[in-house]
Chain A
Amino acid sequence: MEKAKTVYKKRNFTNRIEILDIILLIFLTIWALLIIMPFINVIGISFATEYEYYNSPLILIPKNFTFFNYESLIMDGRIWIGYRTTIIYLLVGVPINMFLTVTMAYGLSRPNLPFRKYFVYFIVFTMMFNGGIIPLYLLMKQLKFINTMWAVLLGAGLNSFYLIVMRNYFMQLPVSLIESAKLNGASELRILISIVLPISMPIIATIILFYSVDRWNEWYYSMIFVRKKGVLPLQLALRSIVMESQQSEQFSASVTGPRKFSEGMKMGAVIVTMLPIMCVFPFLQKYFVKGILIGAIKG
């Protein structure tokens, strides 16, 4: 009786298209366009000639398509350094992140850990109160990590929020699974590796994604801790291209070497920096969403 009523009501609902629906769709579509159009504009400028840009900056698809800006970028070289550094950050940093996060999250998820509550307070306190960048800088100096990637990667070694999300997930795993393994004499490490990790792949994948995006977008610690040339992460390479372009426009008469279309090169650099995230995001979106939901349920 109940079910039939519900089905009937649902069908009735979807048949009516009100004025409200149309207004909503218009607003939502406008907002979507407001987000998409700058990106299309940026892509368009990166493939356009300087002449076309100055005549009509509203470029969506350039009439004179050119790779010139990307060639300038390649010749400039900073993007390569940026890519290289950031990929190293990814390949070294994310494993460090995951190692620290998984071990902590698992250990703190076990009810048989004495003082578990205090460890959690210990962590949560750091989310509310931190020493700021100066003591961290002086510490890195003391540890001789300045100008090395360790300052950046270890400085951002753990994200407490991701840790809590992963811990929540582990805490919801069926107790029986772990208990029976323990009865069979398995060590905690064994349990973690052979039992918990395989069935936790969704959250592991999600947190890996989150950390990867963080390492990809890394710039602040690099700017503060690493002043050496030639080890710029991608974001800072982009920043230097974008900021320098503003100067070279003023002094274009004195620029030696091949003339470059600074705006086009800037936008090319933006696209190149965004590219991996742009390509991968639509497919991985559900992981990001799932991750925040697990975390948000806690909050």
Chain B
Amino acid sequence: MKNQSVKKKGVLIDIWKARELFLLILPGIIWYIVFAYIPIYGLSLAFKQYKANLGIFRSPWVGLENYKYVFRDPAFMESVFRTIVINFGRIIFQFPFPIILALMLNEVRVNRYKKILQTIYTFPHFLSWIVIASIMVNVLDSRGMVNAIITMLGGEKFNFLGNTRFFKPLLYITENWKSSGWTMIIYLAAISGIDIEQYESAKIDGASRLQTIWHITVPSIKSTMIVLLVLQVGNIMTQGFDQIFNISNPATAKAGEILDIYIYRITFQGTADFSFSTAVSLFRSVINFIFLITADRVTKALGSDGLFA
């Protein structure tokens, strides 16, 4: 009995002593409550029928009614399927690329050139997809630079942009173009942490360059690879909106309608049924959460620290 009241008093004293800190974090906490947690509560709209005059809080409950309509919309299920297929493809076609770049760049001996290459590779990441898409739409156009080069070399013009069969490769290539340099830096940092002695002893043992890379460099960045891979898988439901929204056109619109684009279309293009849209949103957030938690557990099982604090 006495121990408990002493403990409670101790906590209250600590709170009082740290009152300035609480004051300091108050603005941020308020921000999170208002702009992160209240919208999370707003997801309850998925189970209500939205009436504009009543707002979120007083609109009537309708249980799972909205979901009956959601699952009956073929565009919905298609968008979910498309999201998974497209983003799974990123794991195969986008994920290895920064690793290969990092391994290659690491072998460059001339430091000046290495820095120049790094700057060039990293730069496009800081541009918005509106800018990148504008560049791509021009350069890959039938009258653009790439097709000009192709015809100069004797080939036939290729429809890069309005071609539903090329859409996925277009996504992977442009995403690598934009951001592989940035991810490469993370790998380069991991590589720079490798013990020089390991390389020395490999040389003594007579290993070739390629063998050194495969047996020393690669295993040392394995933990970084796992974390980034798991992050990529964990976010499989949410990647790509910015890119696809800006780079697709009426010809490829259907091929690119991932879940987030579907949500955007039914909410902001045409008559919006907020309850319906929120129901889809809730579904998306929950599935995304499940993926992330599973990915986190998997990292922990593989021995890493897990993704989150």
Q: B-contacting residues of A (Cβ < 8 Å)? A: 5-6, 9, 13-14, 18, 20-21, 24-25, 27-29, 31-32, 34-39, 41-42, 45, 54, 56-59, 99-101, 103-104, 106-108, 110, 112-114, 119-124, 126-136, 138-139, 142, 154-155, 157-158, 163-164, 187-189, 192, 213, 216-217, 219-220, 224, 235-236, 238-239, 242, 263, 266-267, 269-270, 273-274, 277-278, 281-282, 285, 288-289, 292-293, 296, 299
Mask: chain B, 110-143; 1 = CB below 8 Å from A; 0 = not? 0000001111111110111011001111110001
Give min CB distance, B47 to chain A, whole Å: 13
Q: Which residues of B contact A157 (CB under 8 A)?
A: 31, 35
Mask: chain B, 292-309; 1 = CB below 8 Å from A; 0 = not? 110000000000000111
- Size bracket, chain B contacts: 35 or more
Q: Are A42 and B20 within 8 A (Cβ)?
A: no
Residues 133-178 (chain B) with a chain A CB within 8 angstroms: 134-139, 143-145, 147-149, 152, 177
Would you call the interface of chain B mostly helix, strand, loop, or mixed? Answer: helix
Within the complex, which residue of B11, B56, B137, B292 is in contact with A138, where a contact is CB–CB below 8 Å? B56
Q: Which residue of chain B has the shortest Cβ distance to A210 in the bound complex? A: B126
Complex Cα distance A114/B264, Å? 41
Q: Which residues of A contact B108 (CB under 8 A)?
A: 21, 24-25, 28
Q: Are B14 and A114 within 8 A (Cβ)?
A: yes
Q: Are A189 and B117 within 8 A (Cβ)?
A: no
Given A114-B18, A134-B42, do A108 and B309 touch, yes or no (CB 8 Å)? Answer: no
Q: What are 24 A-B residue pairs whose CB atoms fall within 8 Å in the complex? A: A6-B200, A32-B117, A34-B177, A35-B177, A41-B139, A58-B149, A107-B24, A114-B11, A114-B18, A120-B309, A130-B39, A132-B284, A134-B42, A134-B281, A139-B38, A158-B32, A216-B128, A219-B128, A238-B130, A263-B138, A267-B138, A274-B127, A285-B119, A288-B126
Q: Which residues of A contact B231 (CB under 8 A)?
A: 299
Q: A-contacting residues of B (Cβ < 8 Å)? A: 11, 14-15, 17-18, 20-22, 24-25, 27-29, 31-32, 34-43, 45, 55-56, 101, 104-105, 107-109, 116-124, 126-128, 130-131, 134-139, 143-145, 147-149, 152, 177, 181-182, 185-186, 189, 196, 200, 203, 209-210, 224, 227, 231, 242, 246, 263-264, 267-268, 274, 277-278, 281-282, 284-286, 288-289, 292-293, 307-309
Complex Cα distance A57/B284, Å? 43
Within the complex, which residue of B135, B152, B224, B293 is in contact with A128, where a contact is CB–CB below 8 Å? B293
Complex Cα distance A120/B28, Å? 12
Complex Cα distance A242/B131, Å? 10
Give min CB distance, A49 to chain B, whole Å: 15
Give min CB distance, A222 to chain B, whole Å: 11
Q: Are A242 and B137 within 8 A (Cβ)?
A: yes
Q: Which residue of chain B has the shortest Cβ distance to A138 in the bound complex? A: B56
Q: Which residues of B contact A269 (CB under 8 A)?
A: 134
Q: Are A135 and B42 within 8 A (Cβ)?
A: yes
Complex Cα distance A119/B284, Å? 25
Q: Which residues of A contact B210 (CB under 8 A)?
A: 20
Given A124-B308, A238-B130, A299-B227, do A35 and B186 touch, yes or no (CB 8 Å)? Answer: no
Q: Are A112 and B21 within 8 A (Cβ)?
A: yes
Complex Cα distance A154/B285, Å? 22
Give min CB distance, B287 to chain A, whole Å: 11
Within the complex, which residue of B107, B147, B277 is in contact with A20, where a contact is CB–CB below 8 Å? B107
